[in-house]
Structure 1
Amino acid sequence: MTDTVLPDIDPSRVTTTITDGVADVRLSRPEKRNALDAGMFSAIVHTGEALRTAPGVRVVVLSGDGPDFCAGLDFGAFKAMRSGERMSASVALPPSDGPAQATGQRAAHAWAAVEVPVIAAVQGHALGGGLQIALGADIRLVHPDAVLSVLEIRWGLIPDMTGSQLLPELVGRDVAKELTLTGRRVSGTEAVALGLGTRVSDDPRAEALAMAAEIAGFNPHAVRAAKRLLDGAGRQDLRTGFAAEQTEIGALIGSPNQAEAVTARFEQRTPVFTDPV
């Protein structure tokens, strides 16, 4: 069963459908390589934040319509910058209590803040802000011929959509500096070798949907707990991390969904899980 969700989101910017627990989110401005304008920023933020509470969502797949993932800021935004305008600042958004406050930061961090795994399927161009949005996902499947770049320096800028903080964690501080200070473009194959991507795929979206369907078949409470624990790893001291691990496992053992996972496995059948509320 497929339901179109989030009807208040501009479908000329982002579309979302849910099938069997998998939210298929697509940036839908292919004629502009899914470039980021005010409408796109608004739609991305609202979509990500709405998915935090959308019922029945177990995994999210994030991709772009057409040949590209997202080519970064719309050219009109760069023209406006010459007179000091900041297009993203004009986007009307509700207040956020999360660590990301600026519009661009929220467009990227919205995916990290979703409680379920987010898989980005990257093909074509993922440049500047487009790359930073992909970095907000938990897993990135990248076409070997995709083109990725921390492009901001070539426009006289810096990555300001969470990239300055995420890049060193993913690729190491020295590689992050090299990519940021040169703005050079890397292929999907090199991106995976550097740590910008998880693995290469000749059909990233199809593989992302297949992976999402597999994850959606597991205990959704365990999947969310795993994301929480892994997101905290390296960002907190070991005592805190070890304690969190025991708290999570204590809540899982003997819970209805965990009991169902065990029972279904012994009975060699597909488990039927209850989604978190």
Structure 2
Amino acid sequence: MSEQNGSDTQCGDRVRVTVTDGVADVRLSRPDKRNALDPAMFAGLVTTGERLRADPAVRVVVLSGEGPDFCAGLDFGSFRAMESGERLSATAQLPPSDGPAQATGQRAAHVWAELPVPVIAAVRGNALGGGLQIALGADIRIVAPDARLSVMEVAWGLIPDMTGTQVLPELVGRDVAKELTLTGRTIDGTEAARIGLATRTDADPLAAALTLAREIAGRNPHAVRAAKRLLDQAGRVDLATGFAAEQTEIGALIGSPNQVEAVTANFAKRAPVFEEVS
């Protein structure tokens, strides 16, 4: 992944990435098909996420779709293949994974949660089925009020199998997750924000996400990464483990070059200049 400002990288023909001042602008790039998921899109998402995870110059990621939609879910070719028992996502060419997500679809969604930096999903138009599950891999979701979101798999006789069954209850509660999953009901962005499926709404979610990303990118990158690690542990480890992790992280930050720069810049009333994460 190039570290040059404004560098544009194409991951296959499905995902486009531009990195500017530490902000990676990642766009699903199949607008003529509503950014629907096919093997090439799955591979592009996984490959892009893994490259960004290894890039120390990246401080924040914004994930969106080109055209009017975020992602309308599986393309029709995948559903047609299922009639004969074929699973096209399994044909994506990817190296083995050493993480908890093993299936291709799971990896395409979970890779964003595995990034050490914050990921902000900017959602407009359709985020349906697998498209919604990809958005669930982000840390923050900013959605258009009229966006259309659905755990749509039941309409096709399926279940959400791209990490959705494990992530959704944590966001909206077990009962709401069951209602959305068992009915396939489509909700708008306003309702999504009300029930916790989205962080907040904005008429221009991409502009809002990029503004937020630039703000976060201006913070101590070591502190941002430490905060994400700690918040991701909350509720998943016991309190003693969580409290100990807090002290480990704060001990590593106090007096470090970037923490000193944050203090110095605050007192000098200037923008800080932070060292990259090594």
Is TM more than 0.5 here?
yes
Match of 2:257 in 1: 256
Aligned position for 1:39: 40
Deviation of 1:5 (Å) = 5.2
1:178 aligns with 2:176: no
**Aligned partners of 1:14 and 1:28 also within 8 Å:** yes
Q: Is the 8 A contact 1:41 1:103 kept in 2?
A: yes
Partner of 2:136: 135
Partners in 2 of 1:178 and 1:269 — Cα distance?
A: 50
| Partner AA of 1:49 in structure 2 | E
Deviations 1:198-237 (A, max 9, x none): 0000000000000000000000000000000000000111
Identify the residue that residue 120 of structure 1 maps to in structure 2: 121
- 1:198 aligns to what? 199
Q: 2:80 corresponds to which letter in structure 1? A: K
CA-CA distance at 1:101 after TM superposition = 0.5
Task: Give the share of equivalent positions with the same residue, in percent.
Answer: 73
CA-to-aligned-CA distance 1:76-105 (integer Å, 9 cap, x gap): 000000000001111111111111000000
Q: Is the 8 A contact 1:38 1:87 kept in 2?
A: yes
Q: What is the TM-score with the length of structure 2 in the denominator?
A: 0.97
Aligned residue pair count: 275
Letter in 1 for 2:26: V
Is this contact kept in 2: 1:13–1:27, CA < 8 A? yes
- Contact 1:6 1:47 (C-alpha < 8 Å) held by counterparts: no
Partner of 2:5: 2
Alpha-carbon offset, residue 55 of structure 1: 3.4
CA distance in 1, matches of 2:123, 2:36: 14
Q: Is the 8 A contact 1:6 1:50 kept in 2?
A: no
Amino acid in structure 2 at the alignment position of 1:186: I
| Residue 6 of structure 1, CA deviation | 4.6
Check the 8 A contact 1:26/1:63 in 2, yes or no: yes
RMSD of aligned residue pairs (Cα, Å):
0.9
CA distance in 2, matches of 1:210, 1:64: 17
The C-alpha deviation readout for 1:117-157, integer Å capped at 9, x for no partner, is 00000000000000000000000000000000000000000
Matched position secondary structure for 2:63: strand
> What does residue 50 of structure 1 align with?
51
1:215-268 Cα deviation digits (max 9, x unpaired): 000000000000000000001111111110110000000000000000000011
2:30 matches 1:29: yes
2:7–2:20: 8 Å Cα contact kept in structure 1?
no
Q: Corresponding residue for 1:210?
A: 211
Structure 2 residue 243 is the aligned partner of structure 1 residue 268: no
Give the secondary structure class of the aligned counterpart of 2:146: coil
| Residue 86 of structure 1: aligned partner | 87
The secondary structure found in structure 2 opposite 1:2 is coil
Q: Structure 1 stretches (4+) deviating beyond 4 angstroms?
A: none
CA distance in 1, matches of 2:169, 2:118: 21
Which residue matches 1:106? 107
Task: Measure the CA separation in 2 of the matches of 1:6 and 1:259.
Answer: 34
On the 8 A contact 1:26/1:62 being kept in 2, the answer is: yes
Instruction: Compute the TM-score of the two structures, normalised by the length of structure 1.
Output: 0.98
The CA distance in 2 between the partners of 1:121 and 1:139, in whole Å, is 9
C-alpha distance in structure 2 between counterparts of 1:234 and 1:160, whole Å: 23
Distance 2:9 2:28 in 1: 14
